[in-house]
């Protein structure tokens, strides 16, 4: 599931393949930008901002979001694609590498000087060099909604997704229904930061310290299973900022009080 750590790794792979090289292939397969051609420009960098990817190409920024199913692949020239061609939405390549974005939900292209119009609303990113823990905690603390919802609000912290929200709250022992304003927001943010940084370089994230399949999560996806700490049955519900944004919530009613 693409969350901040997944997007960070994707940006790093893309940057390694593209940064500093001249674009020899550029194709955006969306009607609004179908005629745009940035071949001949140089890729300055590819960076992540929360769950967003930014290709800085010449004086332009190509923005994409993976949502639930999107992914970017990196191929050596002539290598066969591992996904169906009809799913490709963006192609950026140079003489050595071809990068392909499949099932991308959002694609935008703006002058780099206008980049903030796309991502300026995001809160601090724990994987960014300008991470501001105090500001992230302040934003979470100011939210009266359930803390699970507050953690997922990208305007407060950029990069935490539903898996992180569930696992952070279990480890902190916080009931997900608790208003964020009634929690120790700084402790929650600091724990989440340690978690996402620990998983930043792992292909399969873990929160328990174990890497075996089925043993990586404390509560996420474990409805009806015994809590790994106390044996109480894990419960599940849904929470969201509105009915269209509800996410699956898992918690231990004994450990998270």
Residue of 3, 9, 124, 222 with catalytic role? 3
Query: Does the active-site annotation cover 51?
Result: yes
Residue of 2, 124, 146, 176 with catalytic role? 2
Residue of 13, 29, 200, 247 with catalytic role? 247
| Nearest one of 72, 74, 127, 78 to 103, comparing CA atoms | 72
Query: Does the active-site annotation cover 3?
Result: yes
Query: Does the active-site annotation cover 245?
Result: no
DSSP string, the chain: ---HHHHHHHHHHHHHHHTTSB--EEEE-SGGGTT---TT-BEEEEEEETTEEEEEETTEEEEEE-TTT-EEEEEETTPPPSS-GGGEEEEEE-SSEEEEEES-SEEEEEEGGGTHHHHTT----TTSTT--HHHHHHHHHT--SBHHHHHH-TTTSSS--HHHHHHHHHHHT--TTSBGGGS-HHHHHHHHHHHHHHHTT-SS--SSS--STT-S-SSTT-TTSBPTTT-PBPEEEEE-SSGGG-EEEEE-TTT--
Residue of 9, 51, 139, 222 with catalytic role? 51
Query: Does the active-site annotation cover 172?
Result: no
| Nearest one of 104, 63, 56 to 83, comparing CA atoms | 104
Q: What is the rounded CA–CA span in Å between residue 56 and residue 221?
A: 37
Which sequence positions are flagged as catalytic?
Answer: 2-3, 51, 247
């Amino acid at each position: 599931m693409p969350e901040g750590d997944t997007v960070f790794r994707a940006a790093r792979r893309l940057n390694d393949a593209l940064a500093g090289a001249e674009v020899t292939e550029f194709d955006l397969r969306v009607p609004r930008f179908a005629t745009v051609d940035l071949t001949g420009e140089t890729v300055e960098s590819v960076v992540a901002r929360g769950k967003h990817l930014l290709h800085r190409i010449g004086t332009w920024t190509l923005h994409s979001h993976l949502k639930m199913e999107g992914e970017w692949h990196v191929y050596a020239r002539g290598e066969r694609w591992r996904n169906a061609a009809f799913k490709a939405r963006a192609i950026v390549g140079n003489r050595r590498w071809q990068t392909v974005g499949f099932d991308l939900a959002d694609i935008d292209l703006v002058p780099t000087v206008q980049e903030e119009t796309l991502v300026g609303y995001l809160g601090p990113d724990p994987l960014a060099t300008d991470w501001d823990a105090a500001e992230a905690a302040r934003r979470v603390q100011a939210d009266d909604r359930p803390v699970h919802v507050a953690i997922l609000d990208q305007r407060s912290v950029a990069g935490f997704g539903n898996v992180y929200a569930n696992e952070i709250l279990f480890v902190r022992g916080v009931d997900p229904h608790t208003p964020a304003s009634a929690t120790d927001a700084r402790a929650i943010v600091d724990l989440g930061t340690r978690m996402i940084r620990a998983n930043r370089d792992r292909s399969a994230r873990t929160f328990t310290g174990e890497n075996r399949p089925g043993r990586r999560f404390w509560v996420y996806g474990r409805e009806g299973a015994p809590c790994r700490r106390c044996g109480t049955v894990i419960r599940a519900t849904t929470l969201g900022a509105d009915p269209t944004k509800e996410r699956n919530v898992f918690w231990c009613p004994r450990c998270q009080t």
